[in-house]
Structure 1
């Protein structure tokens, strides 16, 4: 087990090194001078030269790379040009809406998908199964931002049940802020549940006809116990995988949804950074999202060991 964890940690370091390298190269091969792009067309040559010196762009490329790598290891992602604060602080200040939006969206997706996927596999070929499969395919094809706009129009504008946008004022309570996350969380959760439904159904179908399931039934166990304790437990590996991937996708996929609902999260920050050509913020956000991807995959690997003891060997 320790050897497995060591291999996973080493793999994480290699992946993050590749990500840092790719982010560094992407910014350097972007057409045009990054300093000139960030300052805009009205900048003077002196302003561009000063910014190039500040960003270290006037040094040899290899020196820039190792300096950038050393800064990332220390947790220094640079200084935001437009916000005037360290990139890591800017990301941390906007992490709360994105974190809770991702958490609630994933919870909604799992709460919808697992029961439907399990029962759909149990009633394979029935009207419920066919309806669930059709609805899942339809939900997978719906853009979350479009569904969010429909929800705003109906639940916020027409019925007035929820706020249309924002995250509450500076002194808003936690309950008020959660109220602002209901519509975006459901918009993301409903769309994300489609993939989990299909994987849950397929994984359950693979195990429902296995010998140990028939043996459990022949011993007189209740059908619910057979499904939940025996079949579901052995079908959890693919389900955990897709839940982990969904969580990672929600982190990056919240960018457009946060913009639609005007949430002051990381996604909104990234959109504004792209529009302003704030390269340090873009680089920092890419590294943070990639790091979260890698961390989630590592946690899923560790859950494999807990769910299925055979993985240890």
Structure 2
């Protein structure tokens, strides 16, 4: 177990170094002077020269790379050109709405997908099973921005059940801000429930026909005990895998929903940084999201031990 964790941590370090290299190369491959691109066409040569000096762009490329990697490993992701603040501080200020949005969306997706997926597998071929599959395919096919706009118009604007957009004012308390995330969480939860539902159904179908399930039934156990205690426990590995991947994708891929609902999260920040040519913020976001993605994959693998004692690393 310890050896496996050490191997995975080494693998995580390799992936992070690869991401750092890609982030470093992206800026250097941009045509023209990176400092001039960051400052925009109205920048003077003196301003560009000052920024090149501050970012170390006058140094040889190997020295720049080693400095960039060393600073990143220490938590220094540079300074934002637009905000004139450390990138880590800018990202931390925008991380709260993105993390809560991803978490609430995942909870809603699980509430929708797991019970329906289990029951659809149990009643395979029934009208409920066919309806669940068709609805899941429809939810996965409809763009999230369209669903968000429809919910925003009818549930927020016309019915007034939810705030239409934003994240509350500067003085808003925690619950007011969470209230602004309910509607976008429902949108993302519905969209992402499709994949979890299909994996849950497929995984349950694989185990419901096994011998130990028939043995449990022959012993007189109730159907729900057979399904939930025996079948679901042994079908949990693929379900946990897709849940972990869904959460990682929600953290890194909620850009469209944040733009539709004007949520000041990391996705919205990245779009604004691209428009402003704020390359340090783009680099920092890429590094943080990739590291988080790898870490979630590690936690997902470790969760296998809790749900299935047969798993050994």
Which of the five TM-score ranges fits, normalised by the shorter chain?
over 0.9
- 1:66-108 CA deviation, whole Å, 9 max, x = no partner? 0001001110000000101000000001111111101000000
Work out whether residues 40 and 277 of structure 2, in 8 Å CA contact, stay in contact via their aligned partners in 1. Answer: no
1:4-19 to 2 correspondences below 5 Å: 4-19=4-19
Q: 2:288 & 2:146 partners in 1: Cα distance?
A: 27
Which residue in the other structure is 1:279 paired with? Answer: 279
Q: TM (normalized to structure 2)?
A: 0.98
SS in 2 for 1:167: coil
Q: Does the CA contact (< 8 Å) of 2:156 and 2:163 recur in 1?
A: yes
SS in structure 1 at match of 2:42 = coil
Tell whether 2:160 aligns with 1:177. no
Query: Displacement of 1:168 after TM fit?
Result: 0.7
What CA RMSD, in Å, does the superposition of the two structures yield over aligned residues?
0.9
Q: How does 1:198-217 map to 2 (within 5 A)?
A: 198-217=198-217
Is there any run of 5+ residues in structure 1 with no aligned partner, and where? Answer: none
SS in 2 for 1:188: helix
Alpha-carbon shift at residue 146 of structure 1 (Å) = 1.3
Matched, 1:107 2:107: yes
Per the TM alignment, residue 310 of structure 1 is displaced from its structure 2 partner at its CA by 2.0
Give distance in 1, aligned partners of 2:26 and 2:310.
Answer: 41
Q: CA deviation at 1:41?
A: 1.1
Aligned partners of 1:116 and 1:248: how far apart in 2?
Answer: 23
Segments of 4+ moved more than 4 angstroms: none
How far apart, CA to CA, are the structure 2 residues paired with 1:225 and 1:7? 38
Alpha-carbon separation, structure 2, partners of 1:287 and 1:311:
31
Distance in structure 1 (CA, Å) of the matches to 2:129 and 2:41: 59
State whether structure 2 residue 118 is matched by structure 1 residue 132. no
After superposition, the C-alpha distances for 1:177-225 in whole angstroms (9 at most, x for unaligned) are 1110011001100000000000000000000000110000000000000
Question: In 2, distance between residues paired with 1:186 and 1:55?
Answer: 42
Is residue 246 from structure 1 mapped to residue 249 from structure 2 by the alignment?
no
Matched-pair contact (CA < 8 Å) for 2:80–2:278:
yes
Query: Deviation at 1:162?
Result: 1.1
